[in-house]
């Protein structure tokens, strides 16, 4: 047998190390205590033969590095990684039911380092297989989403409900839903103004080099202020403004300063994206457009905008992903969002509650990123074919 994929071999070796060397789950008598590790082998010894069966797809993955590349092999790897990922979730869920089931149980079963590392490595296996199985970005995204269906089913069927993370969710359900809505508001209403203002500033900076020389130092300085400091700096002026203009809902803490600060952070990448987008429109194209008798507006709408759009959207993608992350910090000045759950968990040293705040932020950032990538790929695709 010849080794065909060093990458896969590395993934397999790391997976073995993670599975054997790190605890898959942790068990604690209550939510505030640090848990004791439960290794994968302990899980297999304790449970029924069904657990061994669930891990069966590990076999093809172990052998995969020595396979000749081929579409059927990749399909098998895809299915095996998908199955194994779901199996780990199921194992965790059923162990949690065993050890900490029941409404009033105080004991908690949480994820250990091995679980996250294995899931990550399986995701990389999926990505490897998708390189061959899916040529285009939309197909790749679709197949990755399909691979999450088993997890979705496990979640909806309640098989994971005894896990500490899900228990935290059920205990904080209202707060979680509020946080989701608030987080989305924070992102949307900070990126949108930044989009309009930043777009305008970018166009202006493009037209006037002198303005650009004034603008960018200011934006750069803004960007270097740590977010917590900026939130703090805005408390004073906004509180004053709130006193001068009562009835507008402006205050030193809460939504207003958070939106303002997040918008300011979003400004630099948007301006830069706009400027870079406009700058990469070939001068010859602009000269031809003028020479043919297009009005400045027609040049802007029909030539510059469509040609600058992909670069502009790349800038916007970074802005939006950054805003999803920064919005978590906004909880510090009482703006809510997932940050609130996170900080609450931190102050109570309840790690799974922290996780309940962090995971959705991560997912949201990933979704925003993928959505923008798909949009940009679509725009570029429209140029190549049609």
Instruction: Output the CA–CA distances (angstroms, integers) from residue 176 to 134, 304, 360, in the order listed.
Output: 35, 43, 10
Question: 177 or 287, CB closer to other proteins?
Answer: 287
Query: How would you class 11 by CB atoms within 10 Å of its CB: exposed for 0-12, middle for 13-18, buried for 19 or more?
Result: buried
- Residue 126 CA to residue 289 CA, distance in Å, equals 47
User: Taking the complex as a whole, how short is the minimal distance between the CB of residue 285 and other proteins, in angstroms?
Assistant: 5
Spell out, one character per residue from 252 to 291, where the chain touches other proteins: x when CB under 8 A holds, - when not.
------------------------------xxxxxxxxxx
- Rule CB under 8 A: say whether 301 interacts with other proteins: no
DSSP codes joined into one string, 171-190: HTHHHHHHHHHHHHHHHHHH
**The dihedral sign for the CA sequence 344, 154, 127, 4:** positive
Query: What is the SS3 string spanning 240-253?
Result: HHHHHCCCCCCCCC
Q: Could you give phi then psi for residue 145, rounded to 5 degrees?
A: -65, -40
Decide whether 170 or 378 has the Cβ nearer to other proteins.
378
Binding residues for other proteins restricted to 367-386, rule: CB under 8 A: 383-384, 386
Q: Which of 294, 358, 359, 377 touches other proteins by CB under 8 A?
A: 294
- Output the smallest distance, CB 385 to other proteins, in A: 9
Measured from the CB atom, is 142 or 301 closer to other proteins?
301
Q: Which of 124, 151, 225, 303 binds other proteins (CB under 8 A)?
A: 303
Helix or strand or coil: residue 56? coil
| 109, β-bridge pairs | 27
Closest approach of Cβ 262 to other proteins, in Å? Answer: 33
Q: What is the Cα–Cα distance from 53 to 42, expressed in whole angstroms?
A: 15
Q: Which residues pair with 28 in a beta bridge?
A: 108
Taking the complex as a whole, the smallest distance from the CB of residue 289 to other proteins amounts, in Å, to 7
Q: How far is the CB of 320 from other proteins (least distance, A)?
A: 24
Supply the angle between the helices 137-146 and 351-384 in degrees, to the nearest 10: 150
| C-beta closer to other proteins: residue 25 or 376 | 376
- The crossing angle, in degrees rounded to 10, of helices 255-279 and 173-207 is 40
Measured from the CB of residue 211, what is the shortest distance to other proteins in angstroms? Answer: 21
Which of 267, 307, 328, 341 binds other proteins (CB under 8 A)? It is 307
**What is the DSSP secondary-structure string of 268-297?**
HHHHHHHHHHHHTS-HHHHHHHHHTT--HH
> Which DSSP symbol is given to 335?
-
| Cβ closest to other proteins, residue 158 vs residue 306 | 306
Binders of other proteins: how many residues, by CB under 8 A?
A: 21
Cβ closest to other proteins, residue 209 vs residue 284: 284
Among 148, 157, 220, 295, binds other proteins (CB under 8 A): 295
- Judged by CB, which is closer to other proteins: 209, or 386? 386
Say whether residue 209 binds other proteins (CB under 8 A): no
And the tokens for 179? 């946080």
Is 308 a binding residue for other proteins by CB under 8 A? The answer is: no
Other CB atoms within 10 A of residue 144 CB:
17
Q: Indicate the residue among 99 and 290 with the shorter CB distance to other proteins.
A: 290
Q: Which of 123, 146, 106 is nearest to 11 (CA)?
A: 123
**Least separation in angstroms between CB 312 and other proteins:** 14
Q: Give the Cα separation of 97 and 107 in Å (integer).
A: 11
Nearer to other proteins, 1 or 292 (CB): 292
Residues that bind other proteins (CB under 8 A): 282-295, 298, 303, 306-307, 383-384, 386
């Amino acid at each position: 047998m010849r080794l065909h994929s060093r990458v896969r071999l590395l993934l397999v070796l790391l997976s073995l190390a993670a599975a054997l060397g790190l605890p898959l789950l942790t068990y604690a008598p209550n939510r505030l205590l640090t848990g004791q590790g439960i290794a994968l082998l302990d899980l297999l010894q304790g449970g029924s033969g069904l657990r061994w069966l669930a891990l069966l797809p590990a076999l093809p993955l172990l052998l995969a590095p020595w396979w000749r590349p081929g579409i059927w092999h990749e399909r098998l790897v895809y299915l095996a990684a998908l199955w194994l990922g779901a199996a780990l979730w199921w194992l965790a869920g059923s162990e949690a039911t065993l050890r900490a089931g029941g409404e009033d149980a105080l004991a908690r079963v949480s994820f250990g380092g091995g679980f996250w590392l294995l899931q990550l490595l399986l995701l990389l296996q999926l990505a490897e297989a998708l390189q061959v199985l899916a040529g285009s970005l939309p197909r790749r995204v679709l197949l990755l989403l399909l691979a999450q269906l088993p997890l979705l089913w496990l979640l909806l069927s309640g098989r994971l409900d005894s896990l500490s993370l899900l228990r935290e969710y059920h205990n904080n359900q209202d707060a979680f839903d509020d946080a989701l809505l608030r987080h989305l508001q924070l992102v949307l209403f900070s990126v949108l103004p930044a989009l309009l203002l930043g777009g305008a500033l970018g166009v202006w900076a493009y037209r006037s080099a002198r303005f650009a020389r004034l603008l960018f130092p200011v934006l750069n300085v803004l960007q270097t202020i740590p977010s917590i400091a900026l939130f703090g700096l805005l408390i004073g002026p906004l509180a004053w403004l709130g006193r001068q203009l009562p009835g507008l809902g402006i205050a030193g803490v809460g939504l207003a300063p958070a939106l303002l600060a997040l918008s300011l952070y979003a400004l630099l990448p948007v301006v830069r994206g706009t400027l870079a987008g406009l700058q990469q429109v070939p001068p010859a194209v602009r000269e031809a457009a003028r020479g043919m008798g297009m009005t400045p507006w027609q040049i802007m709408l029909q030539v510059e905008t469509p040609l600058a759009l992909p670069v502009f959207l790349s800038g916007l993608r970074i802005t939006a992903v950054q805003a999803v992350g920064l919005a978590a910090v906004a909880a510090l000045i009482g703006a809510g969002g997932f940050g609130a759950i996170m900080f609450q968990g931190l102050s109570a040293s309840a790690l799974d509650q922290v996780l309940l705040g962090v995971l959705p932020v991560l997912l949201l950032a990933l979704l925003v990123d993928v959505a923008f990538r798909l949009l940009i790929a679509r725009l570029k695709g429209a140029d190549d074919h049609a």
